[in-house]
Chains A and B, each alone.
Chain A
Amino acid sequence: MKLKANAQVVEQIESPKTPTGKQLKIVPKKKKSKWGQYKHGLLFASPWIIGLLVFYAIPLFSSIYFSFTTYSILQPGEFIGLENYKELMHDPLFWKSVYNTVYFVIYYVPLSIFFGVALAMLLNMKVKGMAVYRTIFFLPTLVPHVALAVLWMWLLNPGFGLVNGFLNSIGIDGPAWLGSETWSKPSLILMSLWGIGQAVVIYLAGLGDIPEDYYDAAEVDGANWFQKTFHITLPLLTPVIFFNLVMGIIGAFQQFTLPYALTQGQGTPANSLTFYVMYLYDNGFKFFKMGYASAMAWILFVIIMGLTAFVFLTSKRWVHYQGK
């Protein structure tokens, strides 16, 4: 039985590579029902399937229904149709949170790509001890968000912080950073960029994927560093940039832990750090308005979905896969 099972596994693994004609021959011979084929696979996957259904699918789809009700977590509420969505359109704090979030996305995502690629290229040089440097840049991603918030609150402390201390020593009177309406969001972007290591690792893998041949050929043709970077490295890195762009947009729209920990959920100063998901959370868990919060969640879903689709559509123009 063991052998047979193994053979089946091998078949399944190899099947995409084998020509379809051969596969078709095998299936009718065995005359196994579909259930027989999938039974073990499904069985072994069942904990995850159950988990996905119970913890993702059901809450996800019930939240569509809840967004049309006055559900408060503790009470089922009543069906009110599109009232929640209509009310959101007239909620100034909703629009403020949209503004804050879009501001963050617009600055953070391009900056993270720029610094991510730049860092990855630096860390791709053939220098002794590179593993150490790579580790150093990856380390910040291991710091939990709340710890990161506390750490940066000290770094950016207007009176005794290292950042303002440094600025002071070069003759600049630093701003109040997180206490200033103008500087609070840039501070947050700075803090988020600190944890860029995850993306850098992916870029590094992408860089490693570019065959040396291209560079050799370019060398022979007398190309300089700029030409090599802009005509070989960056074009061939676009699939990875594309991936990080999509993930970056999704992540940035869901910014929550950092500003929430920084401001104890208040979004201070003057709601300049009230992000979309924070306001959603307040409505759902503080003001007993889970229906309203569900409506917000679905609006966010549509926005992210739309943007992702847009990026995918444009990707044909600027993403270059090797061998194509």
Chain B
Amino acid sequence: MKQSKRRVGLLAFVFVLTFSMLLAGCSSDSSSSKGNGDQTTVTFWHPMTDVTGEAVEEVIKAFEKKNPDIKINAVYTANQGEGQNEKLLTAVSGGNPPDVAYFDRFEIGSWAAQGSLEDLSKLAEESGVTKDTYYPFAWEEASYEGKLYGMPTTTDSRLVYYNKDHFKEVGLDPENPPKDIAGLEEAAEKLTIKKGKKFKRIGFIPWYGQGWLYGWGWAFGGDFYDPETKTATANDPKVVESLEWIADFAKKYNVEDIAGFTDSQGSGAMDPFLSGQLSMKVSGPWEVSAIKKFKPDLNYGVFPMPTPTGENHTTWSGGWSVVMPKGAKNKEAAWEFMKFFSGEEGQKIFSGIARDFSVIDSVNEELGYKNDPILKEFVEILPNSHHRPVMTQGSLYWNELASAVENATRGNGTPKKLLDKVNDKVNKELKK
């Protein structure tokens, strides 16, 4: 009798132990969803560091001041965006996502198609947030099949930065930067100083920084997507032409030597453009604040990405947004934060520090972007700017184009063939 009692006790003990362990494992954050008192904690995942990191901190501070009942738990998540959202993906499918995530806008289409983002249309309607506040492209990129899935926060455009002192040094007119491809090549050649296999200075690397194929393809007059037929057009002859130009450039300067140069470079204060090892670089407006922070005396200017004819200059704009992943727990508090971040007040703080353009025109005006000699150029090209196609395979297309450029510069196949392959692969997925 005594024995069996003990046995029951033992059994019970083992079971309790096992289940308490299981339960503890499952409910790790149940205690953190409520802060002190009636405070609601909103978990916010973002990948921002440096200047943007500071900017987002200020936005959060301002928001918490205005909404004392909501606490934002900002979690830095490395590599979120540009096709690297695996952590968010598993969190969504596991039913335990953050309430808000900072999200690359061009991926909203494919994520919404997978049903992994909360539809914000209704919340926006109730709060009176409308399309008219924003640049139309930003709103469109954040929508999929007529429904809103993200609140746009930033936008940008791409121009070529150039070092005016270097231009003077080699006898180029610093106030008259190249307009066409031939001029760019000529300037690059003059600016480059190469000793053996090592570059002391490189004039220009087309694919470095923001020199994605999207930019060059559009600069050459090509197009990447046909929204009518919903098909990719990566092998558009003009796009092929642009990749051929990039491949020739790689051949001329020997791509492995360039890789040796670019792999030696850092970011932030060690960026080769800032350290004077690179004379021209395609980049976005955020470079301005980095220069101000790390190398304020740099004598530089910007010019639009050259085109073959020297006319019809264009660029492309991306940008970020805040989304609510499917299954977010504190929807209302999360929406308040999203609305604030994307609204005029949040935009003024964020854009003011990060120097990323706001998606609201009046904010850009108010922050003086249209008066700044450098930033003015970025804002002024926006009307002629392109946007990456809103499609279900945005990430795949991006990755495929990036590896096509890699392979073309390394001489693994002709640009035409590589882009044909990209097109086939992406269109096959689009049809599914």
| A225 on interface, CB distance cutoff 8 Å | no
Asked if B256 is at the interface of the complex by the 8 Å CB criterion, the answer is yes
Instruction: Give residues 173-204 of B contacting A (CB, 8 Å).
Output: 196-198
Q: Does B395 contact A (CB under 8 A)?
A: yes
Near B by CB (< 8 A), chain A positions 265-284 give: 265-271, 281-282
A285 at interface, CB cutoff 8 A: yes
Q: How far is B89's CA from A313's CA once the two chains are assembled, in angstroms?
A: 42
Please tell me which one of the listed residues B264, B326, B395, B407 contacts residue A159 in the complex, with CB atoms under 8 A apart: B264
Interface stretch (choices B108-116, B289-297, B315-323, B335-343): B108-116
User: Is the CB–CB distance between B257 and A176 below 8 Å?
Assistant: yes
User: Across the interface, which residues of A come within 8 angstroms of B170, CB to CB?
Assistant: none
A72 touches B114 (CB 8 A): yes
Given known contacts A271-B406, A286-B84, A180 and B110 CB-to-CB distance under 8 angstroms: no
Interfacial chain B residues near A176, Cβ < 8 Å: 256-257, 259-260, 263
Tell me if A206 counts as interface (CB < 8 A to partner B): no
Q: Which of B93, B264, B265, B421 counts the most chain A CB atoms within 10 A? A: B264
Docked-complex contact A47 and B263, CB < 8 angstroms: no
Q: Which residues of B contact A180 (CB under 8 A)?
A: 256, 259-260
CA distance A160 to B266 in the complex (A): 11
Tell me the complex Cα distance, A281–B87, Å: 12
Do A287 and B396 contact each other (CB < 8 Å), given the known contacts A269-B410, A270-B412? yes
How many Å lie between the Cα of A282 and that of B402 in the bound state?
14
Q: Which residues of A have CB within 8 Å of B110?
A: 288
A157 near B21: Cβ-Cβ < 8 Å = no
Contact of B93 among A74, A161, A266 (CB under 8 A): A74
The listed residue (A1, A179, A271, A287) touching B395 by CB distance below 8 A is A287
Asked if residues A74 and B115 are in contact (CB atoms below 8 Å), the reply is yes
| Residues of chain B contacted by A125 (CB below 8 angstroms) | none
User: Given contacts A1-B3, A70-B432, A265-B84, is CB(A270)–CB(B403) below 8 Å?
Assistant: yes
Chain B CB count within 10 A is highest, among A46, A73, A173, A265, for: A73
Set B3, B6, B263: member contacting A158, Cβ < 8 A: B263
Report whether A157 and B396 are in contact in the complex, using a CB–CB cutoff of 8 Å.
Answer: no
> CA separation between A281 and B92, bound complex, in Å?
17
Q: A1-B3, A43-B11 are in contact. Are A270 and B89 (CB under 8 A)?
A: no
Per-residue contact bits, chain A 278-306, to B (CB 8 Å; 1 contact, 0 not): 00011001111000000000000000000
Query: Is B262 a contact partner of A286 (Cβ separation < 8 A)?
Result: no
Complex Cα distance, B155 from A112, in Å, reads 50
A3 to B376, CA, bound (A): 87
Q: Which residues of A contact B11 (CB under 8 A)?
A: 43
On chain B, the residues within 8 Å of A75 by CB distance are 114-115
Is A179 in contact with B21, judged by CB distance below 8 angstroms? no
Complex: A70 Cα to B385 Cα, angstroms = 36
Q: Which residues of B contact A179 (CB under 8 A)?
A: 256, 259-260, 262-263
A286 & B83 in contact (Cβ 8 Å cutoff): yes
Q: Decide: A271 and B14 in contact? CB cutoff 8 A.
A: no
In the complex, whether A186 has a CB less than 8 A from a CB of chain B is no
By the criterion CB–CB under 8 Å, are A160 and B264 in contact?
A: yes
Chain A 248-273 interface residues, beta-carbon cutoff 8 Å to B = 264-271
In the assembly, what is the distance between CA of A221 and CA of B218, in Å?
81
Instruction: List, in ascending order, chain B residues with CB within 8 A of A241's CB.
Output: none
CB interface residues, B 371-411, toward A, < 8 Å = 393, 395-396, 399, 402-403, 406-407, 409-410
In the complex, A142→B7 CA distance in Å?
43
User: Min CB distance, B169 to chain A, in Å?
Assistant: 22
- Contact present for B197 and A173 (CB under 8 Å): yes
Q: How many residues of B contact A (CB 8 A)?
A: 47
Contact with A along B331-373 (1 / 0, CB 8 A): 0000000000000000000000000000000000000000000
Q: Is B212 in the interface zone, CB < 8 Å from A?
A: no
Which of chain A's residues have a CB closer than 8 A to the CB of B115? Answer: 74-75
* Cross-chain contact of B79 among A264, A282, A288 (Cβ < 8 A): A264
Is A237 an interface residue, CB under 8 A from the partner? no
CA distance A286 to B354 in the complex (A): 28
Interface: B90 (CB within 8 A): yes
Nearest CB of chain B from residue A273's CB, rounded to whole Å: 11
> Smallest Cβ distance from A296 to chain B, in angstroms?
16
Report how far A206 CA is from B89 CA in the complex, Å: 45
Q: Interface readout for A154-183 with B: 1 if CB under 8 Å, 0 if not? A: 000111110000000000010111111100
> Which residues in chain A, 12-28, are within 8 Å of chain B measured between CB atoms?
none
Cα distance A159–B262 in the bound complex, in angstroms? 9
- Cross-chain contact B14 with A269 (CB below 8 angstroms): no
Which residues of the partner chain B approach A144 to less than 8 Å between Cβ atoms? none
Docked Cα-Cα span, A265 to B116, in Å, equals 23
B407 interface neighbour in A50, A270, A288, Cβ under 8 Å: A270
CA distance A85 to B281 in the complex (A): 43
The answer to whether A271 touches B403, judged by C-beta atoms less than 8 angstroms apart, is: yes
The residues of B that contact A160 with a CB separation of less than 8 Å are: 264
Chain B neighbourhood of A35, CB < 8 A: none
B399 touches A286 (CB 8 A): yes
Please state if A266 and B402 are interface contacts (CB–CB under 8 Å): yes
Is B133's beta carbon under 8 Å from chain A? no
Q: How far is the CB of B188 from chain A (nearest CB, A)?
A: 20
Q: Select B421's contact among A73, A92, A157, A173, beta carbons within 8 Å.
A: A92
Partner of B86 from the list A43, A46, A158, A286 (CB cut-off 8 Å) is A286
Distance, CA A83 to CA B83, complexed state (A):
25
B261 within 8 A of A: yes
B407 touches A285 (CB 8 A): no
Query: Closest chain B residue to A160 by CB distance?
Result: B264
CA distance A243 to B374 in the complex (A): 64
Instruction: Give Cα distance in the complex from A253 to B115, angstroms.
Output: 34
Alpha-carbon separation in the docked complex, A270 to B197 (Å): 20
Q: Mark B242-255, 1 if CB is under 8 A from A, else 0.
A: 00000000000000
Q: Is A44 among interface residues, defined by CB-CB distance under 8 A?
A: yes
In angstroms, Cα B363 to Cα A170, docked, is: 59
Neighbouring B residues of A159 by C-beta, 8 Å: 198, 260-261, 263-265
Report chain A residues within 8 Å CB of B7.
1
Q: Which residues of A contact B393 (CB under 8 A)?
A: 287
Given contacts A179-B259, A180-B259, A287-B393, 14 further A-B contacts (CB under 8 A): A1-B3, A1-B7, A44-B14, A73-B89, A157-B263, A157-B264, A158-B261, A159-B261, A159-B265, A176-B259, A270-B409, A281-B86, A286-B395, A288-B110
Give me 28 A-to-B residue pairs in the complex whose CB atoms sit less than 8 angstroms apart, sorted by A's number.
Answer: A1-B7, A43-B11, A44-B14, A50-B18, A72-B114, A74-B114, A158-B260, A158-B261, A158-B263, A159-B261, A173-B197, A175-B260, A179-B256, A179-B262, A180-B260, A181-B256, A264-B84, A265-B84, A266-B402, A267-B403, A268-B406, A269-B410, A270-B412, A285-B90, A286-B84, A287-B393, A287-B396, A288-B110
Q: Which 5 A-B pairs have the closest CB atoms?
A: A159-B264, A179-B259, A176-B260, A179-B263, A285-B86
